[in-house]
Amino acid sequence: MRSYNQYCSMARALDLVGDRWTLLIVRELLTQGPCRFSDLRRGLPGVASNLLAERLREMEANGVITRQDEPPPIAATLIRLTDRGQELSGVVRELTRWGAPLMLEPPDGDAFRMHWFTLPLRHLCRDGSPDQPAVTVRLGDLHDGCDIIADHGQIQVLPCSTARQADATVTAPPQVLVALFTGLMTLPTAQTQGLVVDGSSAALQRLLPEAGFASG
């Protein structure tokens, strides 16, 4: 591990989590929860297996992650954040917020995974009809997506599950979803830009923010 050799809390923190891929690994574990090595790789396109293994060893040595062997029916080693690692959620949230304005025009060739929206959506969405019955809006699908649940004023954004029936399933180019959920584009406009709603458009409208995340 390389060090800045500075007696400064920011420099010390970057000694541990400033290497390439480390915070994206944290993002995946905050998004997916405890998961297998293969699950991490699927969420980190472009990382080599040996580099991912090296980063995980460093993170484990630094107390950011831990591994746990799960019995059947899982029968696999799961990687999870420690309590100390979970404290990075605020750092990831603020980096997501800071980077939101950079998301409106994706460069050609950039990889994209729908489940990457999970963390920002937890802060972007609101329940605009808290007195109405709960709704679930699915972005993407069971393989790569997330479920947004609005229930009596509370918002949850979780990995997609067969245990939930979606009131609406939404697909769209990523930049359209960014504009929609940051308040820079209305739902009718988004639908002219490639957004497709299978189910209740009202359920999706209920979740949209009143103010732009990118500006706040």
pLDDT digit string, tens, across residues 187-197: 999 999 999 99
* CA separation for the pair 85, 98 (Å, rounded): 21
Range of the domain at 24: 9-87
- Polymer length of the chain: 216
Could you tell me the CATH number of the domain that includes residue 192?
Answer: 3.30.1050.10
pTM summary value: 0.87
Structural domain includes residue 167: yes
User: Looking at this protein, which amino acid is placed at residue 11?
Assistant: A
Number of domains into which the chain is organized: 2
Q: Which residues contact 126 (CB under 8 A, 6 or more apart)?
A: 155, 207, 208, 209, 210
Structural domain includes residue 1: no
pLDDT computed for residue 211 by the predictor: 46
Structural domain includes residue 201: yes
Question: 130: which DSSP letter?
Answer: T
Helix (H, G, I), strand (E, B) or coil at 69: strand
pLDDT band per the 50, 70, 90 thresholds, residue 4: very high
Structural domain includes residue 134: yes
Tell me, yes or no, whether 83 and 130 share the same domain.
no
Contact 139, 117 (CB under 8 A): yes
> What confidence tens digit (pLDDT) does each residue in 159-214 have?
999 999 999 999 999 999 999 998 989 999 999 999 999 999 999 999 998 744 44
- Picking from 18, 52, 87, the residue at the C-terminal end of a domain is 87
Tell me, yes or no, whether 71 and 122 share the same domain.
no
- Picking from 29, 52, 87, the residue at the C-terminal end of a domain is 87
> Closest Cα to residue 199, out of 168, 162, 177, 172?
168
* CA separation for the pair 194, 174 (Å, rounded): 10
User: In terms of DSSP H, where are the helices of the chain?
Assistant: 9-17, 22-32, 37-42, 49-61, 83-86, 89-99, 118-124, 174-181, 187-192, 201-207
Structural domain includes residue 216: no
pLDDT band per the 50, 70, 90 thresholds, residue 89: very high
Structural domain includes residue 109: no
Structural domain includes residue 102: no
> What confidence tens digit (pLDDT) does each residue in 134-145 have?
999 999 999 999
Task: State the burial class of residue 6 (Cβ atoms within 10 Å of its Cβ: 0-12, 13-18, 19+).
Answer: exposed
Question: What are the residues facing 154 on neighbouring strands?
Answer: 151
Tell me, yes or no, whether 134 and 74 share the same domain.
no
- Picking from 68, 87, 106, the residue at the C-terminal end of a domain is 87
